[in-house]
C-alpha cells in the first residue's frame, strides 16, 4: 500500500469516528415539550428562519424560549411575519407524521424536519407578535435584501414570470403554485427553480468568460468565485444558498482548470464537512444528495461523453451548445437512480426539455437580477432589460407547459428497495470502468 492511499485511509477512519460520535451527540427534543404533545400549550418563541409563504398557508420555524427543539407552525397565508420576530403562541403541540408519496413509498417527514432541528408541529395556533428584530442582525439584513428582491420582481413582472424568476435567482419556488410546480416536475425541470450549484456555476462561468476577454485567466477565475460569493450574500445567504455556492465553486474550479481530481477531492471534503456539521443530511436531505451527485457528474461526465458528441457543433448562435449538452446529460444520468428511488418520478421528456431551457438560464438570471437592481433606481430605466427577462421567462414557461402536457410525459414508478439504487450506481460505475479499460472514452 503506497503512502498516499495509506494517508487517505487514515483520514477516512478519523472522519468516520468523528461522524459516528457526532451522530451520538445529535440534539434531542426537550423532555418538557415532549410531555406536552397533544396538549394545548402557550409559549413565547423566536422565528429562526425566513417565513415560507405559500398559496394556502405560511410556514414558520419557531424556537420556544431556551428550548433546543423547534416547532414548525402552519399559519394562515395572510400574516405579516419576519425572521427575528418574537411570538406568543397558543395551540396544540403535535409530533410530525410520516406520509405516503405519489408512488406509494413512505416519506420520513419526522427525520426530514429533524435535520433542521424541528421536532414538533402546530397547525393554525393563535399568534401574536410581541417584538421585532430579535434575531441575528446579519441574517436579518440578508433576509431583508432577499425580500426586497422578491418584491421588486413582483413589481416589474407579472405572474407566473415573477415567481419563476424568484425560483431561478433565490430558490423561492413556492410562489409558482402547485400546478406549475407539478408541470416543472413532469418536465424534469424542478431543479432550475431551486437555487442549485448548477444554477450558480453557469452564472459564474459566464462571468468568467466575460472578464476573460480582457483579464488574465487567473484573475478571471478569481472574479467568477468572488461573483458567486457576492451573489450568495445578495440573495439571502441561507443554508440552501450556501450549499449551492459551495458546490458551484467546486464545479467552477474543475471546469475552469480541467483538474477533475483536485475538484473531486474538494467536493468530497466539502461534503464530509457538511455531514460532520449535520449528519442527517446524508439520509434525509434530498437537496444535498442531488447537489453532491450532480456536481460530481458535471466534473467527470463531460470528458467521458465528449468522444460521442464530436459531431455536435461547439457553438450555435453564440451558445456553447456542446458543453451544455454534455453537462446536462452528465447531471441527468447520475441523479436518475436517486430520483427514481426517492420520488419514482421518471420524466420521459426531461432531456429534451433541459436542452431547450438550460442554455437560456444564465442570461435569464442575469437579465432578471439586473432589472431588479436597476428597478430600485428607476423602473423606467429598467424597462428594456425587464422586457428581455419577461420574454425569456415566458419562453421557459411555454416550453414547460408544452412538454409537460404531452401524453406519457412522465410516469410514476412503484417504490423499489434501497439496495436496487446502489446496484444501479454500481452498474453505472462498472460500465464507466469497462469503457475506460477498452478505450471507449
Contacts of 294 (CB under 8 A, 6+ apart): 191, 196, 197, 198, 247, 331, 334, 335
Structural domain includes residue 180? yes
Domain boundary among 114, 135, 156: 135
Q: Is residue 75 part of a domain?
A: yes
Residue 264 dihedral angles phi and psi, to the nearest 5° = -65, -40
Could you tell me which of 8, 1, 6, 2 has the C-alpha nearest to residue 261?
8
In this structure, are 172 and 316 located in the same domain?
Answer: yes
Same structural domain, 284 and 357: yes
User: What CATH number is associated with residue 93?
Assistant: 2.40.50.140
Considering only residues 369 and 75, tell me which one the structure prediction assigns the higher pLDDT: 75
Enter the C-alpha cell of residue 234: 445578495
Please, which pLDDT band fits residue 236 given cuts at 50, 70 and 90?
A: low
Q: Are residues 38 and 124 in the same domain?
A: yes
State the pLDDT at residue 283.
Answer: 86
Query: Domain check: are 236 and 108 in the same one?
Result: no
Which positions ≥6 away from 366 have C-beta within 8 Å? Answer: 203, 206
Structure confidence at residue 86 as a pLDDT band (50, 70, 90): very high
Q: Across the chain, what does the average pLDDT equal?
A: 83
Q: pLDDT at residue 269 above 60?
A: yes
The reported pTM is 0.81
Sign of CA dihedral 90, 81, 110, 119: negative
Inform me whether the pLDDT recorded for 233 exceeds 70: no
Q: Summarize the confidence of residues 377-404 as an average pLDDT.
A: 93
The answer on 192 and 72 residing in a single domain is: no
Q: What is the mean pLDDT of residues 317-322?
A: 67
* pLDDT for the residue numbered 177: 78
Does the pLDDT of residue 63 top 80, yes or no?
A: yes
**Does residue 238 share a domain with residue 176?**
yes
Residues in the chain: 441
What integer is the mean pLDDT of 374-389? 91
State whether 108 and 36 are in the same domain.
yes
Is 55 inside a domain boundary? yes
- Burial class, 436, CB count within 10 angstroms (exposed 0-12 / middle 13-18 / buried 19+): exposed
Strands (E), 66-169: 70-75, 86-92, 99-100, 106-107, 118-123, 126-131
Mark whether 128 and 241 lie in a shared domain.
no
pLDDT at 391: 96
Boundary-marking domain end, from 113, 135, 157: 135
Cβ-contact 197, 291 below 8 angstroms: yes
Beta pairing partners, 159: none
Q: Is residue 360 part of a domain?
A: yes
pLDDT at 130: 94
**Of 135, 157, 182, which residue is a domain's last?**
135
Inform me whether the pLDDT recorded for 303 exceeds 90. no
Does the residue 260 lie in any domain?
yes
One domain, residues 71 and 200:
no
211 and 248, same structural domain? Answer: yes
The verdict on residue 9 lying in a domain is: no
> Do 179 and 73 fall within a single domain?
no
CB 357 within 8 A of CB 396: yes
Residue 282: inside a domain = yes
302 and 388 inside one domain? yes
Q: Could you give the number of structural domains in the chain?
A: 2
* 191: containing domain: 147-437
Amino acid at each position: 500500500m503506497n503512502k498516499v492511499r495509506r494517508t487517505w485511509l487514515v483520514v477516512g477512519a478519523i472522519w468516520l469516528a468523528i461522524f459516528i460520535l457526532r451522530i451520538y451527540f445529535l440534539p434531542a427534543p426537550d423532555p418538557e415539550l415532549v410531555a406536552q404533545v397533544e396538549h394545548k400549550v402557550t409559549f413565547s418563541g423566536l422565528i429562526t428562519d425566513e417565513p415560507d409563504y405559500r398559496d394556502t398557508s405560511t410556514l414558520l420555524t419557531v424556537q420556544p424560549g431556551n428550548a433546543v427543539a423547534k416547532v414548525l407552525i402552519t399559519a394562515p397565508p395572510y400574516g405579516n411575519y419576519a425572521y427575528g420576530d418574537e411570538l406568543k403562541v397558543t395551540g396544540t403541540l403535535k409530533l410530525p407524521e410520516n406520509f405516503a408519496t405519489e408512488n406509494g413509498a413512505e416519506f420520513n417527514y419526522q427525520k426530514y424536519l429533524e435535520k433542521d432541528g424541528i421536532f414538533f408541529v402546530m397547525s393554525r395556533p393563535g399568534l401574536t407578535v410581541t417584538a421585532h428584530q430579535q434575531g441575528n442582525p446579519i441574517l436579518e439584513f440578508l433576509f431583508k435584501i432577499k425580500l426586497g428582491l422578491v418584491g421588486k420582481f413582483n413589481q416589474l413582472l407579472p405572474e407566473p414570470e415573477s415567481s419563476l424568476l424568484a425560483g431561478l435567482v433565490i430558490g423561492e419556488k413556492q410562489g409558482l403554485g402547485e400546478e406549475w410546480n407539478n408541470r416543472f416536475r413532469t418536465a424534469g425541470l424542478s431543479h432550475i427553480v431551486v437555487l442549485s450549484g448548477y444554477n450558480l456555476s453557469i452564472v459564474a462561468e459566464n462571468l468568467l468568460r466575460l472578464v476573460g476577454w480582457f483579464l488574465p485567466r487567473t484573475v478571471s477565475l478569481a472574479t467568477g468565485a468572488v461573483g458567486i460569493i457576492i451573489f450568495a450574500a445578495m440573495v439571502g445567504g441561507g443554508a440552501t444558498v450556501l450549499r449551492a455556492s459551495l458546490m458551484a465553486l467546486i464545479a467552477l474550479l474543475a471546469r475552469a482548470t480541467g483538474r477533475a481530481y483536485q475538484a473531486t477531492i474538494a467536493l468530497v471534503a466539502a461534503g464530509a464537512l457538511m455531514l460532520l456539521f449535520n449528519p442527517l443530511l446524508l439520509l434525509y436531505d434530498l437537496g444535498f444528495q442531488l447537489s453532491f451527485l450532480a456536481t460530481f457528474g458535471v466534473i467527470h461526465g463531460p470528458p467521458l461523453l465528449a468522444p460521442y458528441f464530436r459531431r455536435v457543433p461547439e457553438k450555435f448562435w453564440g451558445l456553447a451548445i456542446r458543453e451544455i449538452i454534455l453537462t446536462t446529460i452528465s447531471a441527468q444520468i447520475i441523479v436518475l437512480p436517486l430520483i427514481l428511488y426517492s420520488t419514482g418520478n421518471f420524466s420521459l421528456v426531461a432531456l429534451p426539455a433541459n436542452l431547450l431551457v438550460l442554455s437560456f438560464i444564465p442570461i435569464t438570471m442575469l437579465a432578471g437580477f439586473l432589472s431588479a437592481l436597476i428597478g430600485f433606481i428607476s423602473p423606467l430605466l429598467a424597462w428594456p432589460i425587464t422586457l428581455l427577462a419577461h420574454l425569456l421567462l415566458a419562453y421557459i414557461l411555454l416550453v414547460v407547459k408544452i412538454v409537460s402536457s404531452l401524453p406519457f410525459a412522465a410516469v410514476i414508478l412503484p417504490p423499489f428497495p434501497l439496495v436496487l439504487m446502489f446496484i444501479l450506481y454500481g452498474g453505472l460505475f462498472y460500465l464507466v470502468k469497462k469503457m475506460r479499460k477498452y478505450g471507449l472514452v
